[in-house]
Structure 1
């Protein structure tokens, strides 16, 4: 089997698994009496999504591992600062749904930050390359570097706009004092993501992961379905 066919097979398998879990979640949460079961298994979905990113990534190298560790550690640190000081994101608190916590922050949040940063970075990179090839865009390397990072951060904020109301509905975390999501949260998400997107663009690993684009879209569709139908 040729190398390209191997990755096509991996992409198809990963997309199928991701759709299976997310569509099951959409049906289970919105249209059955087993909501608690699906909420309690949210950590499993997060772990599987991350493992599928690893499975479909081409040529895992040192730079990829550095990016993985940086996102995981930075994500947890961002949240620890936010939870314990209010200096980032605002005044909020995590429930016990996502498992073991360090200083009030579920360790799995590092997983979520990595998967999100990888997906938005890969999405932006591939979209930019398509636009460049289709419309013959010509930007200097320096401008290109900033454009990719900034749009990657915006893509992360867009996904968080869908995630936040879902997290409140499913009691992953809650905002205080009135349960309203502060604009400051999205500002912090942008700048926190921007730092990691600069690292993504700078990192020397393959960024052409088509599964990452599908995962971003699947997660967005999942969040939107909960916003519309969950009661």
Structure 2
């Protein structure tokens, strides 16, 4: 099975878990359905969430496998995961660089009892997508690093309100000190930017990625990125957090418009 077939298969499953999660959230508003499934809600939340988190890095790895090759693909995965894990361990233990926070038990077992094992690979998964899209905007390494940070923060604009104690029905992490944006302190986005910039520079050191990817990646990367961002946007809207949802939609539209504007050569290219 080729990497592109693996991508199509895993992305299909990935999208299905998102649809399942959204439908499950909708069921909270249907009294009889909610009452029927209430004893099973913990399992019904954990199953699609864990499946989503497990498939997330596989989707990105399969998408870029042919463009990056085996060695660079695995090095990108390792580097971003290590940087993500280090940042998260610093954050959960010392409040640097994200501010003070901790994870609940909803994402399963944790590294050193602090960071769920799913989290470091999610930094790789969205980090490599953001790095790719940022590279298409042009500029040198610094510009690409800043662009990577921008695309990553766009994801978190709706992710944090949907998942933390400020708005989420099912809480995956908490900020004990609270914050102005649905319980999140502004410094959290500084942490996202710093970590994303570090990942971008690490990718550069490992050989980087061409700003002109294959037609397959050129078409699919924005789709995968958009689906990831639309998921928490949908949850925000379903949770009654319209401001977070609208800001998420606006920033996603800006991000995709920039990619579209800067990569006209991708238009009309057949997906193979």
Name the TM-score, length of structure 1 as normaliser.
0.81
| Superposition deviation, residue 188 in structure 1 | 1.2
> RMSD between aligned alpha carbons?
2.4
- In the alignment, is the contact (CA less than 8 A) between 1:166 and 1:227 conserved in 2? yes
Q: Is the 8 A contact 1:64 1:203 kept in 2?
A: no
Q: In the alignment, does 2:159 pair up with 1:153?
A: no
Report which stretch shifted further, 184-193 or 46-55. 46-55
Which of 21, 42, 46 pairs up with 1:36? 42
Residue 201 (structure 2) aligned to one of 183, 194, 198: 198
Given that 2:10 and 2:55 are in contact with CA atoms closer than 8 Å, whether structure 1 keeps it comes out as: no
1:37–1:213 distance in 2 versus 1, CA, 3 Å: farther
Q: Which residue number corresponds to residue 163 of structure 2?
A: 167
CA contact (8 A) 1:58 1:206 kept: no
Query: 2:140 aligns to what SS in structure 1?
Result: helix
Provide Cα deviations, 1:46-100, integer angstroms capped at 9, x if missing partner.
Answer: 1112112222223332222222111111111111111111122111111111111
3-state SS of the aligned residue for 2:146? Answer: helix
Distance in 1, matches of 2:220 and 2:206, equals 19
Q: How many residues align?
A: 212
Residue of structure 1 equivalent to 2:102: 93
* Corresponding residue number in structure 2 for 1:53: 60
1:27 corresponds to: 23
Q: CA deviation at 1:201?
A: 3.9
Counterpart CA distance in 2 for 1:38 and 1:120 is 30
CA apart distance, 1:16: 3.0
Map of 2:269 onto structure 1: none
Per the alignment, residue 262 of structure 2 pairs with none
Query: Does the CA contact (< 8 Å) of 2:17 and 2:52 recur in 1?
Result: yes
Higher RCO (CA 8 Å, separation ≥ 6 residues) = 1
